[in-house]
Chains A and B, each alone.
Chain A
Amino acid sequence: MSGAKLGENTDATMAPRRIGQPQSRISQFFESRQLGWVALGIALIMPFIIATNYAMNIMTTAAIFVLLASGLNIVVGYCGLLDLGYIAFMAVGAYTSGIIAKAFDLPLIFTIPAVLVMTILAGLIIGAPTLRLRSDYLAIVTLGFGEIIRLTANNLSITGGSSGIFGIPGLELFGIDLQQPVIFYYFCILVVSLFVLASGRLGKSRLGRAWRFVREDEDAAEAMGIHTYKVKLLAYIFGAVWGGIGGVLFAAHLSAVSPQSFVFLQSALVLMAVVLGGMGNMRGVVVGAVIISLLPEFLRDLGNYRYLAFGILLVAVMVFRPQGFWPARAWEPERPSDPPPEPVAAAGRAAKTKRKAR
């Protein structure tokens, strides 16, 4: 076994750091259940504070970005698979829904089943062959896949070539037109918060624990009876579905889709949101996504320097704080049926097993 591999298994910088209840008051606040409601409240109040078309546009984009980041978090954060072409799934979703809606004159909402089918197919096509390989290969294959999707959309006539498709009908639900910016913003917030919630719940489920086990040590997970290939593929497919739904919202928001929206830069920005926020921690990822999507609006004057800063920041975070700014903490609430821990007995047991190990 090589040294690099050994280091990978023993190094705990990315591992959850503590088991048990969070200790300090501040940690308790950050881990509390009410925090999600606070964030939702802020998102709901925003249009009352600033409701220009420009601001609504940016905030809707940010909401869609949060959805994408929460999807990528499943792949990168929970399962530890690096996906560098994530925006391709959004492209698949946006194009599928746009093309079908225009071809059959359907409301956008009815294209969602087709979008789900297409994104799951895309996830299978790209995940099934590569997830058996080492994780680095997956990274580069996803990078290539992102390019394939963009170039294909650029070349085919059904996707409108380089000018894309436009005039996509807007969302309409129960006769209410959702295209009004503020209403569409609220609709996005609703959808996004549902998906963020689902993603967070997934992380705490049995499957989520399996994902984290695979991330920490794939061989050990395999030895404990986790079908690692199946689990990884599931993570990939969930990520794809999140991306596809993001694509539908994107198509509805802009009513036009073109290949220029799905360049590598976008994938890298989503990844950055996940990494900066704290891989695996849904709250951190949401905050990271909001920051990453809003920051360029405030730094418009800086031009390309802001991406340079993003690059440097990405390296710096990985070198100095690889767990992100708001890392995931593993703690599970003690169930009442659990016997209280007995420190003395536990220490004795530990000593005994230690002796046995010798």
Chain B
Amino acid sequence: MTQLIWNGLFVGSFYALIALGYSMVYGIIKLLNFAHGDIYMLGAFIGFTVLSSFGGITASMSIISLLFVLIISMLLSGAAGVAIERIAYRPLRNSPRLAVLITAVGASFTLEYGVSAIAGPNPRVFPVRLGGNSFDFLGARLSVPQVILMAIAVVLMLGLNMYVQRTSRGRAMRAIALDPKGALLMGINVNAVITWTFFIGSALAGAAGVMAGAYYGKIDFLMGFIIGLKAFTAAVIGGIGNIKGAMLGGLLLGLLEAFGSQVFGGQWRDVFTFAVLILFLTLKPTGLLGERVTERV
């Protein structure tokens, strides 16, 4: 039981990291960034490349080198997110929603097959895997890497929350989410803040990618597709556009999945998740923490 909860929370923290980017971007410009899951994949591949080129540093990945790779990968995948926003989304800011959604699908496609063209279509084995002992805690078996990765995820999430709540940039983000025109009139550089939001969201997804690569040890160019869908589910469960909701939704989805696959069997895990998504959209489309948004004409 505690084992299930722990596993759920561990996987859930990955979902939460990715869901944050989905939710932030959606909150600010009401765009479903389909390419977000692929940024996660890109982050994993950047981490892979960095580790391969500095292969001699560590055999069993030390914390320092993991952090180093993590930061480089976050910066680069953040930059990729900004580039996508600039090239694909910004010219369409005032276009019909359908056009923007299709562009997002195109961006996702470009990332997936771009990486596949460069790195090859076959799965790659991450050069270093986090090794470590495992220990028992309250009847659950925890391993050291799990604890480390979870700690990194929690630190990143808390940092983001502080950033959005305490800094002036964070206040600007919240202002734009509330009312883009009003924010513009109050002298906020809306474009700069949107760019910055894309950077942060993509950087978090990139971090999740590196962490997943280091933990599971195998990466491929389609790994972002399913997890992007799941992160979206997490964002919907928590209430899309809400940062705390995305974190809560991610953890909750991880738990649901852990128990769901226990009950229905592992091969039904993804089906169960998407069924949860459809159920949530039917019964409570605003999510747990989302506010009721009435669309005015």
Contact = CB atoms under 8 A, between A and B. Distances in A.
B257 interface: no
Interface stretch (A198-206, A247-255, A306-314): A306-314
A144 B278 contact: yes
With most chain A CB atoms within 10 A of its CB, the pick from B113, B232, B285 is B113
Nearest to A84: B105
A219 B108 CA distance: 31
Given A4-B94, A129-B278, A307-B109, A147 B32 contact: no
A13 interface: yes
A311 B113 contact: yes
A332 to B, nearest CB: 23
20 contacts: A4-B180, A8-B96, A11-B96, A14-B99, A137-B281, A143-B229, A144-B229, A144-B233, A148-B270, A155-B267, A268-B105, A268-B109, A308-B110, A308-B114, A308-B117, A311-B107, A311-B110, A314-B103, A315-B87, A318-B99
Given A11-B95, A319-B103, 12 more contacts: A84-B105, A129-B281, A136-B97, A144-B274, A147-B274, A279-B98, A305-B117, A308-B109, A311-B113, A314-B103, A314-B105, A322-B99
Interface of B: 29-30, 32, 87-88, 91-103, 105-114, 116-117, 121, 179-181, 225-226, 229, 232-233, 236, 267-268, 270-271, 274-275, 277-278, 281-282, 285, 295-297
Contact of B102 (A2, A7, A8, A271): A271
With most chain A CB atoms within 10 A of its CB, the pick from B101, B179, B268 is B101
A41 interface: no
Interface residues of A, number: 55
B109 to A, nearest CB: 3
Contacts of B285: 133, 137
A7 B94 contact: yes
B110 A315 contact: yes
B80 to A, nearest CB: 14
A13 B93 CA distance: 13
A11 B98 CA distance: 12
Interface string A124-152: 00100110011111011101110110011
Contacts of A305: 113, 117
Contacts of B233: 144
B101 A82 contact: yes
A319 B105 contact: no
A264 interface: yes
Interface of A: 1-5, 7-8, 11, 13-14, 76, 80, 82, 84, 126, 129-130, 133-137, 139-141, 143-145, 147-148, 151-152, 154-155, 215, 219, 264, 268, 271, 275, 279, 303-305, 307-308, 310-315, 318-319, 322
A212 B93 CA distance: 22
Nearest to A12: B96
A94 to B, nearest CB: 19
A148 B112 CA distance: 21
Across the A-B interface, give the 7 residue pairs with the lowest CB-CB distance, nearest first: A314-B106, A311-B109, A311-B110, A7-B94, A144-B274, A129-B282, A315-B106
A145 B278 contact: yes
